[in-house]
Every structure is written in structure tokens, then in C-alpha cells.
Chain A
């Protein structure tokens, strides 16, 4: 039993205390009864309208001055990040050594780079080019074992020195390869080390005590606050956080409902609207495994991060600012809109009820019975399956020990938003894995948020060589990645995570390109898989390649049983069998299913669209098969001479208005040079299959999706696509 084991014990304690402290702040992810989850990206009508009406000009104005075009990975850290936040005990885990090292770095960096503007904004500039540098940079951000107030001050220095010495000695030991004969010196060093260890242990213990006390005090205060809350609020909170289902037990759900919808997301709600429009007194029951009323998801990775909200946590009703400036809630409708499930059978005018927190294990299409996971049976006249999809995780994280797993999350629900926002608020470093819609949008939004919040790094790691590579042709994908870097996202391309290990507070990711990243949280955004768990028991067909329940062009799986949204693998009479994971597709297919459930007998003919925003400079909308594996022809606008000149002029003028004179010099150069490298600012891209246009992407062009839809519906090949592009008025 040496002093080492004492140290280990102590470290264990520290870690436990830290984890406990974190738990208090970061709630565990909510449990969801299996399968049902919903669609992620895409569009609710109002949102769609919102995008439609937007103009690029409106946005570019917004950002012009906000985003200096510098390399994200070059600038990274700002002063603030290195100052322990006294208000928030968790945030304070950034330690003194950081300040020290950053100061050192600062002076060297400042000396090295003569450009004064670097000095203004950024304390530290580290190119991310080499593995060592990344490691170094991450190491100096490594927080001390424990956060917590005063005791830290005593603890920090010795701990840091200790760590440093230990590292050095480890290196020297490794170097000499077991020679170890320098008796006296080693002894002296050992003594020194032991002293340090002792000091460190004392510090850690003190910190532990203090931390424990604060945590205890805090929890006391919290529970006291809770007591004061009205019981209504408490009930509501309990319902949302998944402790109570609505209704309280399944036997309170009516045994027969004319319209049953399995799932409670966008497709489900859209179907309800259509049903109720065509059958005025329809009684509709949604069975959702979430504990919330239906809500839209697109703002979770976009608008919600741009809405300047007070320190509300969670944000009340998840209100966010739309592009028009008006606010709305993430929820489609307020609570009052819905009928209590227990009263649905007796309601004269019908309505919609949501059974929250229940999952369905089986749908019997022949007997028309839905069976809940607890065995309760509900008979129906018409049924819609809209179970959506669940985010995928990487197997290496799924199989990781709990200490690693608690630093890994997926991103799909408001709870995920709340959790990630807490990390962002504490200026933690966040790593996003994946280059798709959710990952890329989130990276941009987080970069923006951290700029507003003055701290917190955002990394995005993926194997491909550019963002949105499944959608954008390679050249545009790479261009987009560069734009994202300009916005402050540190994008690491062509890299995958080899291992993830945990220290006291952070996760260390070893990448296959030799880099290491220290990060506080990993957000896995690698797509989602449709929730078809009930297919087996229900004897429904699942598409082998595309996934999802197989349905015909009327979205019908069996008689009186329909499937819409992400989980629907439908036959598009124009473009063939498809499965689409977009918000607008949920709206469109939900509506079609709802109409057909009330007897419309319509096939899928209205092509759904999608949109995405990657920060203020990039916004795009697409329709049809927008798949980068297809051959494409892109037509982009070259700004005319006059325009360009005037562009430069305005640039100079706006810069002149800015405080710093320095920028004026660089201003015109930056904009005028853009003509040398291709500028994919605005344009239209055609996706071809057998020379026919099957997909159209509108790049920073808005209000033209109707035209694009008309062209896709022609299902024709065109000699000169430039002529087709003219229709889009890309120079307008």
C-alpha cells in the first residue's frame, strides 16, 4: 500500500463527486419506451412558408459584420474561456493553469504573428494542423480534478505542477528504458513528487468536502424551491420528464376509437389535421411513446439556438423567433387544443387526444386492433402508423463503459436540446460526429451560440471529405465545409474516432489520423433508423434496402392501415420506391394518409421538399431525388462587373464605419479576390437519372420550389440545362 493507492482512491472520490455534481445539473436522458421516435429535419407548413419567403439579402445583412472570415481552427480560444466562471461551479472547472498557459501562448503567438487584428479578438491562436498541436491545446484546457471555489486556488498550482512533473518523469523513464541508476537524483525527485502528491491529496480532499457541501446545499435549496411550486407545475413537469403517463394507466384509454394514430410527431399531427378537415367530428387518438404533445423538430438544430432567450432552463414552451421576427412555440398547438383521452369517447364534436408514454407492440390489420406493450387492446376503424425513426449510435459508443457513455448523446428531442444547451452555456467543448443535416446544422448553430456566449469550442468530425456529402456534389460539399470553418466550426474531415477514453471530467477521442481531441460531450449525428419493431408481430413487410414499412402509392400497408413519415417506404409513381426523412415529407405524407383514411383514395403525387440552413451564408431547398451519387449539373451566378465593384465599395464603407481602421485595408481585397476561386454563392443544381431531371437543389435561392416541382413532374431530359436554369432567375 503506497501513497499511489491513496492517490488512486482520492482520484476515484474526486471523480465520483464530480460526476455527482454534474448529474445535478445535467439530467439523464429521458427514458423512452422503445421504438417510436420522430422525424428530424424537415418542415412544417408554417416553417416552410418561412423559408420560402426568406431572401438571401435579408440574411447576409445580418451576418456581414458578425462573421470575420478566418479559419475556425486557427482562432478558437478566446480570453473568456480561460477565466473560471465563478457563478457556475461546473464551468469553473477550467483551471488556473489554463490562464497561465494561454498567457504564455498569447505572448508567443502575438510575437509570431504580426497581424494586430489577431490580438484583439483572440488570446490564443493554434493551428489545428498537427496531431501534437491538438493534443497540446486540449491538454492545456484539461480541467483540474475538481471544480469548486476557494479550495481550488490552493490546489490548482501544485496539481498542475504535479501533472507536469509526472508527465516529464514518465517520458524520461520511458526514454531511459529502465536504466534507473541515478539514485540520488531520483530520490530527490521522488521526495519532491511525494510532497506534491500529499499536497494534492489534501487539496482534493478539501475540494471534495467543499464540493459535497455545496452540492448538498444546492440540492436543499432546489428541493425547497420545488416545494413552493404549485402542484400543477409539478404534475406537468412529472409528465414531461416521463414519470407519469397520460392517462395514468392504459385502461383509461378508450377501448374503441375511430381513428388511431401510432406515433405522435409531425406526420401524425399532419394526418390528424387532414382527417379532421374531411371528417368534422372525427375522434382521433394518438399513441405516442414520448411524454410530450406533438411538436416540430427543425428548429431544434436551428432557430432555437439563434433565439436570444433569457437564462430560462428549459425555455418555456420552447419558444423561438421565426425569421419574420415573431415568436412561436415548438409545439404545434397548446395543451388546451387536445382532448383528455378519458373524455374522448364522450366528446360531441370529436377532437384529438394523445396517449403519452405508451408504446404499441402490435397492430392486427385483420381484426383492426392495436395492442399496447402492456397488452391493452384498442380497436379502430382506420389506423395510421407514424412511428418515425430513432437516431443511430456508433457501436463503439454503445459498447463503451458507462463513464464514457454519459458523455455521449444523440440529438433528436427537446430534452437533447436542453442538455446540449447546458453544455454550451457552460462554454464546454462540444464534438459533433457526422456530416449530415442534423450534425452540420447543429455545428453551425453551436458555433454561432458560442460566439454569442463568448466561449465553447465546436468540433465536427466525420469520415467524408465535406459536409452534407450525401446531398451536395463533392465540389459544393467541400466549399460548404470551408464556409463552416469560417463560421467558427472546427471541421475535421476524413477522420473517424478510434477510441474514446474518459478522465475526470472529459472525454479523450483518438482519431484515426493521429489527432486526439479532448471534449466535454460528443453528439452523435449519424442518421436514424425507422422504428419498425412492431412489424414482425403485426406481420407487416419491411423494405430490406431502404427500411421502413412497405406501402403502396396511397401509403396503404393493408386495408385500413396506413404508414406515413420517416417510417414509410412508399411507392412514388414518378420516382419509384422511396423512403424520405424530412419534415416536409412528414407533413405531406401525413396529410395524404389522413385524406386517404377519410376515403380520398389519392396516390402520392405532390413532391415534398426539404430545406436546411448552415449559418447565415448558406440556405438551400431541395426537391425530388437530391442524391449526390447521381450526375449533376450546377448553374451558378457570376455577379456582373458593376455589381461586384459596388460590392467592394459597400464593403469598404461598412468597414470604415467599424471601429478598426485595419480592416479597411484588408476589406476590398477579401471580397474582390473571391472571383479567383469559384464562388458558389447562388445557383441551381440539377440531379439527373437517365438524363432526366429527378432532383433539384436551390442554393441560396428562395421562393422557387414550386417551379422546381413543376420541372420534376415533367420527368423529361433537356438538351441545355442552362436554359432550364434561366427559369430560376438566379441573378435576381
Chain B
């Protein structure tokens, strides 16, 4: 029954489009959107501005976090990150000084704490979240974050 039709209210035009009308592909071609920068830049460095870090790099333990994460990222030891025990312990110690800042993920999973969530939980859903947060390049970030997760848990278990 339905056909697409138009209405005009002065300067404002309105088109009512049927599903059928819109089922053909658009003739407009757009350039592919530039993928937002992920956690790791093209030249292999860490992008501390990545929203996927969820404020980890800017918090009160930001410096310790950077040390630990950089150590891990650039580690050539086998297994990767096994030479970062000291840095991770320092980071964990710092975390414990700020329980309200770094334990938030227990209750609410703030998007702010995307990485914190990834690091503290085992569910895959959070990793997906990170993926969405960072768009196309998010996969790398998510992968990196998962790695961190494993390392952190390792580090934690070592500490304990």
C-alpha cells in the first residue's frame, strides 16, 4: 500500500520513505572513515590518549601504570612481560592506596574504566566493549588489553 511521498512546510521538506524504496543501495559514495587511533600506534608505540585506557594513564597511579604497561609492551623476555614483575607490583601497591578509584569495577562498570574492567574481569563482553569504544582499530587495543589482563593476573598471583 505504502508509497514514498513528500510534504513541504515552507523551507522544510519531508520525505516519507518506504522500506522498499530504501532497499536499493545508495548511489552516494563516501570515503572510508579514518579509523580512530587505537592503543598501539602504527609505529608500535603506546597511545596514552586512547579512550580504551579508560583513564588509567591519567589517574593517581598513572605513572606506575605506564611503567608497567610499557615494560610489558616492549618486553622481549619469554614469556612476554616476565621481566616486569617489579613494575607490576609497584602498580598494584599504588592501586591499593586508592581503593575507591581502582575498585570501581566491582559495582558499576563505568565506560571510563573500560580497561580496568578488562583487566579485572574474565568476561568477554567487556573486551567487546573496548572494541566498540575504539572503533576499527579497537581490535588491536582489545588484544593488547587482553594480554595485559593475563599478565596482570599473573603478576597478581605472583605477588600473592
Please give the residue numbers on chain A whose beta carbons come within 8 Å of chain B beta carbons, in ascending order.
45-46, 49-50, 53, 272-274, 276-278, 280-281, 319, 322, 324, 326-328, 332-337, 339, 349-351, 473-475, 595, 630-641, 643, 678, 706-707, 709-711, 714, 718, 720-727, 729-731
Q: A723-B28, A724-B28 are in contact. Are A730 and B22 (CB under 8 A)?
A: yes
Partner of A474, one of B9, B30, B133: B9
Do B57 and A723 have beta carbons less than 8 Å apart? no
Do A637 and B19 contact each other (CB < 8 Å), given the known contacts A276-B62, A706-B135, A710-B30?
yes
Instruction: Please measure, in the bound complex, the distance between the C-alpha atom of A726 and the C-alpha atom of B133, giving whole angstroms.
Output: 25
Chain B residues within an 8 Å CB radius of A729: 22
B96 to chain A, nearest CB (A): 12
CB <8 Å contact, A336 and B98: yes
Option from B14, B33, B57, B58 in Cβ contact (under 8 Å) with A706: B33
Of A280, A631, A640, the residue contacting B11 (CB under 8 A) is: A631
Which of B12, B25, B30, B98 gathers the greatest number of chain A CB atoms within 10 Å?
Answer: B12
A326 x B58 contact (CB < 8 A): no
Task: Tell me whether B14 and A636 are in contact (CB under 8 A).
Answer: yes
Q: Chain A's nearest CB lies how many Å from the CB of B73?
A: 15
Pair A638/B111 contact, Cβ less than 8 Å? no
Q: Do the beta carbons of B15 and A710 come within 8 Å of each other?
A: no
B66 near A638: Cβ-Cβ < 8 Å? no
Range of interface residues on B (Cβ < 8 Å) = 35 or more
B123 interface residue (CB < 8 Å to A) = no
Stretch at the interface among B74-82, B102-110, B141-149: B102-110
CA distance A217 to B19 in the complex (A): 67
Q: Is the CB of A475 within 8 A of B14?
A: yes
* Complex Cα gap A333–B107 (Å): 14
- Chain B residues within 8 Å of A724, by CB: 26, 28
- Say yes or no for B27: interface residue by CB 8 A criterion: yes
Please, how many angstroms separate the alpha-carbon atoms of A636 and B2 in the complex?
A: 13
Residue of B nearest to A633 (CB): B13
Partner pick for A328 among B13, B16, B30, B110, CB 8 A cutoff: B110
**B107 contacts A274, C-beta separation under 8 Å:** no
Q: Are A351 and B60 in contact (CB under 8 A)?
A: yes
In B103-129, the 8 Å CB interface with A consists of 104, 107-112
Given the known A-B contacts A349-B62, A640-B20, A727-B30, are A473 and B12 also in contact in the complex, defined by CB atoms under 8 Å? yes
Given contacts A274-B49, A634-B14, A718-B28, 18 further A-B contacts (CB under 8 A): A45-B51, A50-B111, A276-B57, A276-B58, A280-B63, A327-B108, A328-B108, A328-B110, A337-B60, A339-B60, A349-B63, A635-B16, A637-B22, A707-B30, A710-B30, A710-B31, A723-B28, A726-B28
**Cβ of B109: which chain A residues have Cβ within 8 Å of it?**
324, 326
Complex contacts, A723 vs chain B, CB 8 Å = 26-28
Q: How many angstroms from the CA of A334 to the CA of B1 in the assembled complex?
A: 57
Alpha-carbon distance A709/B28, docked complex (angstroms)? 15
Give which listed residue, B2, B10, B62, B63, contacts A638 with CB less than 8 A: B2
When the two chains form their complex, are residues A277 and B57 in contact, meaning their CB atoms are under 8 A apart? yes
The answer, among B13, B16, B25, B101, for a CB contact under 8 Å with A337, is B101
The answer to whether A280 and B18 touch across the interface, beta carbons within 8 angstroms, is no
Query: In the complex, are the beta carbons of B22 and A726 less than 8 A apart?
Result: yes
Q: Which residues on B sit within 8 Å (CB–CB) of A643?
A: 19
Report B108 CB to chain A, min CB distance, Å. 4
Indicate whether A49 sits within 8 Å of B11 (C-beta atoms), given known contacts A638-B18, A640-B19, A724-B26. no
Q: How far is the CA of A316 from the CA of B59 in the complex (A)?
A: 23
Tell me, rounded to whole Å, the shortest Cβ–Cβ distance linking A400 to chain B.
38
Chain A residues with Cβ under 8 A from B48's Cβ? 277-278, 280
Query: A348's closest neighbor in chain B, by CB?
Result: B63
CB pair A638–B4 under 8 Å, yes or no, is yes
Q: Which residues 17-40 of B sit at the A interface, judged by CB distance below 8 A?
A: 17-22, 24-28, 30-31, 33
**Nearest chain-B residue to A49 (Cβ)?**
B111
Cβ–Cβ contact A714 & B135, under 8 A: no
Asked whether, in the complex, the Cβ of B4 is within 8 Å of the Cβ of A634, the reply is: no
Chain B neighbourhood of A274, CB < 8 A: 49
Contacts A714-B30, A726-B26; is A634 near B49 (CB within 8 Å)? no
Residues of chain B contacted by A726 (CB below 8 angstroms): 22, 24-26, 28
* Interface assignment of B132: CB less than 8 Å from any CB of chain A: yes
Cβ of B100 within 8 Å of any chain A Cβ, yes or no, is yes
Complex formed: what's the CA distance from A278 to B62 in Å? Answer: 12
Which residues of the partner chain B approach A636 to less than 8 Å between Cβ atoms? 14-17
If A49-B111, A49-B133, A278-B48 touch, whether A635 touches B15 (CB-CB below 8 Å) is yes
Chain A residues with CB under 8 A of B55: 273, 333
Across the two chains, which residue of chain B brings its CB closest to A319?
B108
Which residues on B sit within 8 Å (CB–CB) of A324? 109
Bound form: Cα–Cα A720–B28 in Å: 9
* Given the contacts A724-B26, A726-B25, A727-B26, A474 and B12 also touching, CB distance less than 8 Å: yes
Q: Does B7 contact A (CB under 8 A)?
A: yes
Residue contact A335 to B22, C-beta cutoff 8 Å: no
A327-B25 in contact (CB<8A): no
Say whether A710 contacts B2, CB under 8 Å.
no
Which one of B22, B25, B100 contacts A725 once the chains associate, using CB atoms below 8 Å? B22
CA distance A731 to B23 in the complex (A): 9
B22, B59, B99, B133: the one within 8 Å of A731 (CB) = B22
Q: What A residues does B101 contact at CB under 8 A?
A: 333-334, 336-337
Counting chain A CB atoms within 10 Å of each CB, the highest count among B17, B27, B132 belongs to B17
CB distance from B69 to the nearest CB of A (A): 12
Q: How far is the CB of A575 from chain B (nearest CB, A)?
A: 19
Q: For B20, what are the chain A residues with a Cβ–Cβ distance below 8 Å? A: 640
Complex: how many Å from CA A332 to CA B48? 19
Task: Enumerate chain A residues within 8 angstroms of B9, measured Cβ to Cβ.
Answer: 473-475
Q: Tell which of A277, A631, A714, A718 touches B49, judged by Cβ atoms closer than 8 Å.
A: A277
Report yes or no: B12 in contact with A49, Cβ–Cβ below 8 A: no
**Considering only CB atoms, which chain B residue lies closest to A327 in the complex?**
B108
Please give the distance in Å from B120's CB to the nearest CB on chain A.
14
> Which of B20, B30, B64, B135 is the most central at the interface, judged by chain A CB atoms within 10 Å of its CB?
B30
Complex-state Cα separation, A724 to B17, whole angstroms: 12
- Nearest chain B CB to A332's CB is how many angstroms away? 8
How close is A450's CB to chain B, nearest CB, in angstroms? Answer: 27
**Interface centre among B25, B110, B132, by most A CB within 10 Å?**
B110
Assuming the A-B contacts A277-B48, A638-B2, A723-B26, are A336 and B16 also in contact, with contact meaning beta carbons closer than 8 angstroms in the complex? Answer: no
A276-B62, A281-B63 as given contacts; A635 in contact with B17, CB under 8 Å:
yes
User: In the bound complex, what is the Cα–Cα distance between A332 and B58 (angstroms)?
Assistant: 12
Q: Which single residue of chain B is at the shortest CB-CB distance from A335?
A: B100
For B36, the closest partner residue in chain A by CB is A706
**Cβ contacts A to B, 5 pairs, < 8 Å:** A49-B132, A273-B58, A641-B1, A725-B17, A727-B28
Q: Which residue of B lies closest to A716 (CB)?
A: B28
Closest residue of chain B to A718 (Cβ to Cβ) is B28
- Of chain B, the residue at the smallest CB distance from A272 is B58
The smallest C-beta distance from A174 to any residue of chain B, in angstroms, reads 47
B15 proximity list for chain A (CB < 8 A): 633-636, 721-722, 725
How many Å from the CB of A440 to the closest CB on chain B?
20
Q: Which 10 A-B pairs have the closest CB atoms?
A: A46-B111, A726-B26, A276-B58, A334-B100, A473-B12, A349-B63, A631-B11, A277-B49, A731-B19, A326-B108
Given contacts A635-B17, A724-B28, contact A475 B12 (CB under 8 A): yes
Which residue of chain A has the shortest Cβ distance to B10 in the bound complex? A474
Partner of B2, one of A280, A640, A722: A640
Quick check: A280 and B28 within 8 Å, CB to CB?
A: no
Q: Whole-angstrom distance between the alpha carbons of A731 and B110 in the complex? A: 31
- Cα distance, A50 to B26, chains bound together (Å): 29
Check B7–A678 contact: CB distance below 8 A. yes
CB distance from A39 to the nearest CB of B (A): 18
